[in-house]
Structure 1
Amino acid sequence: MKTINLTVNGREFAGAPVEPRTQLADFLRDSLDLTGTHLGCEHGVCGACTLLIDGVPARSCITLAVACDGASVTTIEGMDDDDCMRALRAAFSREHALQCGYCTPGMLASARDVVLRMPDASEQDIRFAMSGNLCRCTGYVGIIKAIQSVIAERKAAGLGVVQNPRTELGPVGSGHARCSAAGHAGASIASRPQAVSTVKAAGTAGAAQAPAAPPAVRQSPADAGKPMTTLNQTFTVDFPRDEVWEFFGRLGEVTTCLPGASLLAPATETHVEPKLRIKVGPIVAEFEGAADVERDPANYTGTIFGSARDTRSSSATRGEIRYDLVEEKGGGATRVDVQVGFALTGSLAQFSRSSIVKDIAKRMTDAFAENLRARLSQARTGTPSDGTPAPVPQVSELNAGALVFSVLRDRIAALFRSLFGGRRG
């Protein structure tokens, strides 16, 4: 963990805790609740996450938060009183330059730079300068007209003076990668010291680069850093802890308890090569990877380090799973506490940012627990003479889309119960 000092929308944050691999966009959204910065491609291509660093437009999805140590960051929320932004918002509304609005914060940030830096810009100049911001709704006609109208208004008002905030060469924020160690005096950030991680800071002019592809297998906790997202799940099985611990040592059987999972090769005591088939609407992903396991018999804990890549797209994931087995009911039952940390990149990364992921993880955990109980029950009653694993309900693919709709349906039902249930009472 590092601490950084930066100014966001005019407010100073001293000693803000942040993981070295956290992107600026994640830091702003998750730690400061500044959700006006939108995340689209997460590869620095679409421009939805564009904001200002020291007055210069920058892609916050590929800019490391630690690289902004000492910098001044301005998000769309901090431009309410900006004269140029006020004129642009009015022009965007007047020229119908927005529809769904997802690209609009980044579009406005880039448009403001064009207006101030290019007061004599032609339509061709504007189109070229705005080509880094993508819009799937408008066709750009209204956007170009809005920018042209603001340039004309400012020129008529005598404000057509070139304003270029860039004072040095190199990537935006390149001179700010000077973060202090964790525990810096006065380390505080509002009341939410949350942080998310993605890429290690380089501390040089090339700091804000896209994340490198994960290794095939994570060899040790120090090699790949902490995962991006952490989920905690708990379930209980009515079997003694020693039986559950012994079963968790059979990696092949444990892996195939997960819906949609199969094995690419026979598992060993410390290594497994799984395949996970996931369906999200029309998208079908087949993740193939490898994982290594470290177990601590004295404390009944284990940690799995692994990574996988989708064979059909550029999506990849890596992470770690830690489990703790705790005795309950006088030793007749076992509580399994699971902590899952993961980082997902590529086309499927968009599905890892919603709070619904926690509900989906809970349902997947329930399915895993049911399969685990079935395997443990079979182990007690005896294994077939041919030595095959105990039969459990097999799921050829994990239908994440169906889980999403199921979660949404339950949430809507709960909302209606809370709204109308009390009235009946």
Structure 2
Amino acid sequence: MNSVAIMINSRAVTASVEPRTSLADFLRDERDLTGTHLGCEHGVCGACTVLLDGVPARSCITFAVTCDGAEITTIEGLDDDEISIELRAAFTREHALQCGYCTPGMLVSARDLVKRLPDADEQAIRVGMSGNLCRCTGYVGIVNAVKSVIAARRGRDIAAEPDAGRKLLGPVGSGHAASAGSANPADAIAAPSAAVIAPLLIPDFTPSTILEQSFTVAHPPAKVFAMFGDIAAVASCLPGASLTGTPAPERVEGAIRVRVGPISANFNGAARVESDAATRSGRIIGVGSDQRSRSQTQGEIRYRLLPVEQGAATRVDLSIGYSLTGMLAQVGRSGLVRDLATRLIAEFAGNLDRLLSGDSRAIAPAAELNGISLIFGLLRQRAVGFVRRLSGRDGSAS
């Protein structure tokens, strides 16, 4: 059991919780705040959304122990909130609820949009609300309700707050732990030191999905390991990846652009790099977020280099783990991701081999990782394989 001190709906709460207890279970079972609903319990449906340090967060995938020192606001704590009062009236007026199960999470997310969006843009509202699912309404009434509240408030000259309390990159609520004994966690958020930020932004985690892949390059392990130590060179081999600052092993800042059909995402984030020369192995662990889709990801790549062909070549064994939340998690089917990862790693291996060979025809990775082109490539591969198998069977029959 761990002791936590949390502000819940402006009331100080001290309690003992098990490390595995989710914030949603703690709020419902220990505090009787049953307005926070549980739906998918995978961070997808949004029914459990609460405010964590003023920012919407999925309470079903947030551990209660990580909220020590944070401020939590549930739907019950928004009874007298001005924006929430307007939203409740608009939801009623626009028939934006039916069974009501998703409504608490809808209202919390809608409140955030009302604060942040400069005008009642329907597309921006639909993207912003896409992480909250409803089986009843068809969303038209919900969108109209949010539009009407934004339009009314901007008409009263109530300006938008573009960041709406967001002062630190990283998981929502993560800034509260930077206080180091300060009575006011906001003081630490306003001026965090680099030494404090790094471990908060790039924490260890347990991946929800792990993929195992291998490839071979025709270069000795020592040369490949040295290349893996050149962060900028490695990034240049990865389609869609770019660095946004001077890389260092303890902190690498960058971005990766992804497009799958009409969905485009630009994940910005940071990573740390670890390596062990004795075993020619290493790990890259990072976090990133895409503001447009409100999706977040954590990722970990473990690699190990093994000599093959009497040391003239190297087999690279990869273990890729990741967790994805938000809108993109709804299209991130494991089979599709596995196939895309296979093609992505093949492109990375080819670029790495050309770079190690000094081939200046060059490494020209795509400006963004295009999932559709990878999918068509996979379909072509599978079609060729099917035809070959069919031809083989025909040949054996004759």
TM-score scaled by length of structure 1: 0.49
Distance 1:417 1:370, change over 3 A: closer
The separation in 1 between residues aligned to 2:101 and 2:201, in whole angstroms, is: 42
Query: 2:99–2:136: 8 Å Cα contact kept in structure 1?
Result: no
How far did residue 342 of structure 1 move? Answer: 0.6
Does residue 342 in structure 1 map to residue 322 in structure 2? Answer: yes
1:394 aligns with 2:365: yes
CA distance in 2, matches of 1:220, 1:213: 11
Structure 2 match to 1:407: 378
In 2 relative to 1, CA 263–131 (structure 1 residues): closer, same or farther, beyond 3 Å?
Answer: closer
Going from structure 1 to structure 2, the CA distance change for 1:321 and 1:234 (only over 3 Å counts) comes to same
Indicate which of 275, 280, 284 corresponds to 1:300: 280
Partner of 2:224: 244
CA contact (8 A) 1:317 1:344 kept: yes
Change in 2 beyond 3 A, CA 1:360/1:21: farther
Match of 2:248 among 252, 264, 268: 268
Q: Deviations 1:167-208 (Å, cap 9, x if unpaired)?
A: xxxxxxxxxxxxxxxxxxxxxxxxxxxxxxxxxxxxxxxxxx
For 2:390 and 2:198, the matched residues in 1 are separated by: 48
Q: Which has the higher helix share?
A: 2
Amino acid at match of 1:318: Q
Secondary structure at the residue paired with 1:267?
coil
CA offset digits 1:254-311 (Å, max 9, x no partner) = 0121001111012124432121111111121111111111111111010111111114
Q: How far is the alpha carbon of 1:411 from its aligned partner?
A: 4.0
Do structure 1's residue 259 and structure 2's residue 259 form an aligned pair?
A: no
Correspondence list, 1:49-68, <5 A: none
Distance 1:22 1:360 in 2: 32
- Report the CA distance between 1:418 and its aligned residue: 5.7
**1:158-197 superposed matches below 5 A:** none
**Equivalence for 1:368:** 348
- The letter for the 1-side match of 2:44 is E
Tell me the distance in 1 between the aligned counterparts of 2:335 and 2:23: 19
Change (3 A) 1:321 1:130: closer
**CA contact 2:42–2:60 (8 Å) conserved in 1:** no
Q: Which residue of 2 aligns with 1:42?
A: 44
Distance 1:246 1:298 in 2: 13
Deviation at 1:419, TM superposition (A): 6.9
Superposition deviation, residue 347 in structure 1: 1.1
Tell me which amino acid in the other structure corresponds to 2:378. V
**Secondary structure, aligned partner of 1:244:** helix
Q: What letter is aligned with 1:245?
A: F
SS in 2 for 1:356: helix
Say if 2:43 and 2:325, in contact at 8 Å, map to a contact too.
no
Structure 2 residue identity aligned to 1:305: I
Question: What is aligned with 2:297?
Answer: 317
Cα separation, 1, equivalents of 2:338 and 2:305 = 21
AA aligned to 2:269 is: G
| 1:278 paired to 2:258 | yes
Residue by residue over 1:84-132, the C-alpha shift from the partner in whole angstroms, topping out at 9 and shown as x without a partner, is xxxxxxxxxxxxxxxxxxxxxxxxxxxxxxxxxxxxxxxx9x9445776
Aligned residue among 333, 354, 366 for 2:313: 333
Structure 2: where are the runs of 5+ without partners? 1-18, 25-38, 49-57, 65-94, 104-132, 140-169, 176-196
Residue 269 of structure 2 corresponds to which residue in structure 1? 289
Partner SS state of residue 392, structure 1 = coil
| C-alpha deviation, 1:41, in angstroms | 7.6
Q: Give the letter for the 1:43 counterpart.
A: C
Aligned to 2:87: none
Partner AA of 1:134 in structure 2:
C
Contact 2:46 2:102 in 1 (8 A): no
Q: Which runs of 5+ in 1 are unaligned?
A: 1-18, 25-36, 47-60, 68-123, 140-210, 382-388
Relative distance call for 1:269 and 1:45 in structure 2 (3 A) is closer
Relative to 1, partners in 2 of residues 1:40 and 1:249: Cα closer, same or farther, differing over 3 Å?
closer
1:220–1:305 contact (8 Å) kept in structure 2? no
Distance 2:138 2:392 in 1: 43
- In the other structure, the counterpart of 1:134 is 134
Inter-partner Cα distance in structure 2 for 1:268 and 1:214: 26
Aligned to 2:121: none
Percent identity reads 36
